[in-house]
Structure 1
Amino acid sequence: MSVECVLKNAAKLHGEGPHWDDVTNTLLYVDHYGKAIHRYNPETNADDKIVLDSTVGFVVPASKGGLIAGVGQCLVHVDWDTKKVTKLHQVDQGLETSFNDGKCDPQGRVWAGTWGPPKPNILDMKRIGSLYCLDKDGSLHKAEQGIGISNGLAWSSDGKSMYYIDSAPRQMYKYDFDPSTGKIENRSVVIDNSGKSVPEFGYPDGMTFDTKGNIWVAHFLSKKVMCHDPKTGEVLHSIEFPATRITSCCFGGKNLDELYVTSTDYEVPEEEMKEYPLSGSLFRVKGLGVKGYSANMYEGNVPA
């Protein structure tokens, strides 16, 4: 196994939300506070970007063209070529929130959550965020509320379970998931890092499944991506990075056997940056011996 830095300090403020686009063999990711969507081509090492007018929480491709992104409190459609941005929905009006992580379920719905203003102590975050689902008919509904930091999303290979992370209480949840309706119910806690050492276990953040049925979770402030048994939460093994603030991960590469990992240098203290100068970089892990699934795309209609 090898860990390499493929783009040093890739996101100027806060790297998040990697999504491997196996149509173009490129990696999409966002710079949250840099208000940008990036597209990295590992063949050419080119890293292109579009800068938007507010924070960017996530980006996913739409099968009918363009990208769906969470920008500020809005879900938008972005045409990469023309740079046209079309607002689809605005949420949480009257609240000081913004979209954070998001992902598509196997049926092609977009799931994305919001969070409130950051606090120096993550445990002090106000629970004013919500989790939303953008259905294929373009309608939007709220699936959860009272969320501190809405983060990672993933679905089991049989499509009957949805996994979801709220980083503020340091927990990952499992829901029974109805593929036909998108309804979630019967929440249970799978990973609970509350009470555990932050330097060792961190705060669960972004995540992804491998084809063996295990789940890979970026643990913010721990320097690690950990592989967990999704039934018990047990840590099967972990990968350490030369940056403490690991944010998310996804499988990519032409064989989907490389793990791409984002990190942040947002408000990293000077002493920490001296010790971890690769904070905010994009990393790639090879030789894990496992593969991931092709990422899902939004299957709804998009603006012309």
Structure 2
Amino acid sequence: MQKFTITEPFLDSKCGLSEGPFYEEATNTLRFIDIVKKHVWWVDLNKGASSAKKIEYDISFGVTANLASSTDSFLFGGKHGIGIAKRDSNRQQYETIMRANDGAIDSQGRFWVGAMNDPAYTNGKFDPVGILFRLDTDGTLHRVLENVTIPNGISFSLDNKTMYWTDTPTGNIYAFDYDVSTGNISNQRVFWHSDLGGPDGHAMDVEGNLWVALWGGWKVVRVSPEGKVTAEIEVPTRCPTAVVFVGEDVYITSEQDPDADKYPESGKWHGGVFKCHVGIKGRKLYDSKIASL
């Protein structure tokens, strides 16, 4: 098994919950979110970590995506729904659903986003009331899956015939048959089960491997198309949350460790963003083709 080790963060952002990393190739910019502090961060990778800046919005976001139709706005799944936000101000507009947690854009420009109860209002409890939504390019919203708990990473196979989706408390990444022309999914089955930590966000490389953040597991693992762990990245905090490729590097977000008193070594860099050279590129990320909301 191939092993990588990270000893310090690329950016000590001290987020409450950094999530949703997104790479914008046109500007060589890394974007990520702090769900807890309602921040969206941008890092100019030409200049490095010192260029990091953040904007605080009125609501928290869980995931963002670029819009094919706009360079001054971005699509988000947030505290009160799916919407569009300005890059240079804290303005946003949205359609109401539950708190969005993670999502992805498919090859047709549809926005897939999971929603869950907000633990800030349920005494930290996560209930199986979550929903996986699909927002089509004409603006219609579909409930695809219901009665899920913490909907997380979404990825699509290289041939666009399979969708991978995570419900973290189950320990499972599920696979579905995926009809790219309609967006419909079917034939749910377990693709990979984790005993190493809660599977969280993931990203796919150009060989079809999933790189999966394991919350509570101190690592990111590479899972082959056959469902075998073939590599791991050890990170210096217990709660990595999501992964994005930038060239042959991966950037990894993390959460403030709720048990940092028990794991003080985890608390040193928790909430930071980490970088690891893995020697393989990620598959292309798509822009949303949502016309309007």
Q: So what's the TM-score if we normalise by structure 1?
A: 0.87
SS in 1 for 2:22: strand
C-alpha RMSD of matched pairs (Å): 1.9
Residue matched to 1:300: 290
Residue matched to 2:75: 68
Closer, same or farther: CA 275–37 of 1 in aligned 2, 3 Å = closer
More displaced, 265-274 or 220-229? 265-274
SS in 1 for 2:263: helix
More displaced, 61-70 or 43-52? 43-52
CA distance in 1, matches of 2:65, 2:164: 18
CA distance in 1, matches of 2:15, 2:199: 22
Q: Calculate percent identity across the aligned residue pairs.
A: 29
Q: Does 1:250 align with 2:257?
A: no
Give the deviation of 1:236 after TM superposition. 0.8
Deviations 1:136-190 (A, max 9, x none): 1111111111111010000001011100000011110001111111001110101
Match of 1:53 among 50, 58, 61: 58
Residue matched to 1:104: 105
Q: Does 1:264 align with 2:265?
A: no
Aligned residue identity for 1:6: F
Residue matched to 1:37: 40
Give the deviation of 1:15 after TM superposition. 0.5
Q: Is the 8 A contact 2:210 2:222 kept in 1?
A: yes
Aligned residue identity for 1:58: V
Give the deviation of 1:43 after TM superposition. 2.0
SS in 2 for 1:247: strand
Residue matched to 2:270: 279
Q: Structure 2: give runs of 5+ residues left out of the alignment.
A: none
Q: Does 1:289 align with 2:276?
A: no
CA distance in 2, matches of 1:107, 1:217: 24
Q: Does 1:226 align with 2:232?
A: no
Give the deviation of 1:275 after TM superposition. 4.8
Q: Is the 8 A contact 1:14 1:266 kept in 2?
A: no
Give the deviation of 1:125 after TM superposition. 3.0
Q: Structure 1: give runs of 5+ residues left out of the alignment.
A: 92-96
Give the deviation of 1:79 after TM superposition. 1.5
Aligned residue identity for 1:206: G
- Number of residue-to-residue matches in the alignment: 282
Give the deviation of 1:300 after TM superposition. 1.9
Q: Is the 8 A contact 1:125 1:168 kept in 2?
A: no
Deviations 1:188-207 (A, max 9, x none): 101123xx3xxxx1000000
Aligned residue identity for 2:233: I
Residue matched to 1:94: none
Residue matched to 1:153: 154
Residue matched to 2:165: 164
CA distance in 1, matches of 2:31, 2:216: 23
Give the deviation of 1:299 after TM superposition. 1.2
SS in 2 for 1:5: coil
